Amino acid sequence: MQKTTRSSGWIVITIVIAIIAFLAWSMWAELDQITRAPGKVIPIGKVQIIQSADGGVISQIRVREGDEVKRGQLLVVLDKVKLQAAVDESRAKVAALKSQKARIDAELFDKALSFPPDVRPFPEFMANQQQLYLKRRAALQSDLASLRAMKGLLQQELGMNRPLVASGDVARSEIIRMERSIVDVDGQMASRQSKYIQDLQAEFAKTEEDLVTAQQVLTQREDALEATDLVAPTDGIVKNVRLTTVGGVLRPGDEVLQIVPTGEKMIIEAQVAPRDIAFVKTGQTASIKFDTYDSSVYGAAVGKVTYISPDTLSEQRQDGSQAVYYRVNLEADIRNMRPRHAGEVIAIQPGMTATAEIKTGKNTVFRYLTKPILKTTSEALSEK
């Protein structure tokens, strides 16, 4: 009997010591405090929406749903016929005005006529301006030649009559009249040249103004023509192709398709409950577990909080209820994840779902164990 009592005493002592040791350990040992949040993989650049600013008739559709595309790759082509005609018309108008400006410049500065390189594809404009250049210069020279001839005759007449003044055969007033006529002819020559220059200057200003307007119209039409080729703004995968009919009409601003970027860095967009957001801070580390890859087999990625939305967001769930959350973005490093076999590639793609376990701090084991008891006691004592 004494032996049994002694054994029972040792058991009690051992249990007490074990409990004391456990309590001591629980007050010292710390565990990570975790905030769990569901999330999904998104590219930093977000989904790219392909739209047409001006609309038009669909001429070609070069991609299908799920196709992988490269940046700059042609996706959809709109009909170019009308826009190409408008661009050709504007280019011709710009060339005509440039050839006219070149002719006026040559006349103003009395130099040989030469045309800029971008006018040379329009020989008819150059021929017309060359002809007008020669015709106008010939008319000016003809007028000036006539006035010079008239002046020469007047000077000759004056020279013949001036000696006769002394003998009284010619009155002094007649000599003055002849001199005045010569001065008048000089004035006519100067006036003809001045009017020629003034007309050219006015024409130059008008031509330059028209040229600026025409170039602006040409730029707008070229931009509209270029916009008929809808190209991929980034590497990615095609999704949500809205229009699949060649010949269909695309209205201005209509969405054609979307591209999910693949060449950009991926992040995790997590939804943190408002009750947990107070403990989440930028820079905190996290464990990212992708639903596609079993964490017990592949392990988890290492994450880092990079962004926390300043206010709550809300969205409607499939069951009709409203989900309220803070958006938290995390960078994910998958180098810690383990492939099942050699050669297997762990590929993270946009749209994958994941769970982010954000490490918000540390707590002792003792506090974890007593927290439910303390909370229940506190709530019970506060009840009326």
Asked if the structure places residue 34 within a domain, the reply is yes
Helix 81-108 and helix 172-226, axial crossing angle in degrees, nearest 10: 160
Contacts of 290 (CB under 8 A, 6+ apart): 41, 298, 301, 348, 352, 353, 354
Q: Outline where DSSP puts E strands in the chain.
A: 30-43, 48-51, 56-61, 68-69, 74-78, 229-231, 236-239, 249-250, 255-261, 266-272, 285-290, 301-308, 313-316, 322-333, 353-364
Q: Are 113 and 203 in the same domain?
A: yes
**Residue 126 forms part of a structural domain:** yes
Residues 281 and 360 both lie in one domain: yes
Q: Same structural domain for residues 217 and 116?
A: yes
Residues 275 and 334 both lie in one domain: yes
The tens place of each residue's pLDDT in the chain, 384 residues long, gives 555 555 666 677 777 777 776 666 556 555 568 899 999 998 877 788 898 888 888 899 999 988 889 989 999 999 999 999 999 999 999 999 999 999 988 888 888 888 889 888 999 988 998 888 888 887 777 777 777 777 777 777 767 777 777 777 767 777 777 778 777 777 777 777 877 788 888 888 999 999 999 999 999 999 989 988 999 988 888 988 888 888 888 888 888 899 888 766 788 999 999 999 988 999 999 999 999 999 989 999 999 999 999 999 988 877 778 889 999 999 988 888 888 888 888 888 888 999 999 998 766 655 655 656 655 655 554 554
* 86 and 64 assigned to the same domain: no
Residue 105 and residue 219 share a domain: yes
Task: Give a yes or no: residue 1 inside a domain.
Answer: no
Structure tokens at 172: 């002094």
Note if the pTM is more than 0.75: no
Dig out the tokens for 224 from the structure.
Answer: 């509209």
What pLDDT sits at residue 133?
82
Residues 54 and 149 in one domain: no
The domain tally of the chain equals 3
Answer yes or no: do 145 and 205 share one domain. yes
Residue 362 CB partners (closer than 8 Å, separation 6+): 30, 31, 32, 33
Q: Is residue 11 part of a domain?
A: no
pLDDT at residue number 230? 92
Q: Does residue 3 sit within a domain?
A: no
Handedness of CA 219, 220, 225, 228 (dihedral sign): positive
Q: How far apart are CA 140 and CA 107, in angstroms?
A: 11
The rounded distance, in Å, linking the Cα atoms of 378 and 355 is: 32
**End-to-end alpha carbon distance in the chain:** 54
In this structure, what CATH number is given to the domain that contains residue 74?
2.40.50.100
Q: Of 206, 236, 260, which closes a domain?
A: 260
pLDDT at site 91: 93
Q: Is residue 5 part of a domain?
A: no
Specify whether 161 is located in the same domain as 255: no
Does residue 336 fall inside a structural domain? yes
Say what the pLDDT of residue 222 is: 92
From 224, 249, 277, give the residue that closes a domain.
224
Question: Are residues 220 and 104 part of one domain?
Answer: yes
- List the domain range (segments joined by +) for residue 333: 27-44+265-382
What single DSSP character describes residue 118? G
Nearest to 68 by CA among 227, 234, 229: 234
Instruction: Tell whether 213 and 317 lie within a shared domain.
Output: no
Residue linked to tokens 């008819």: 124
Contact 310, 273 (CB under 8 A): no
Same domain, 308 and 326: yes
In-domain check, residue 91: yes
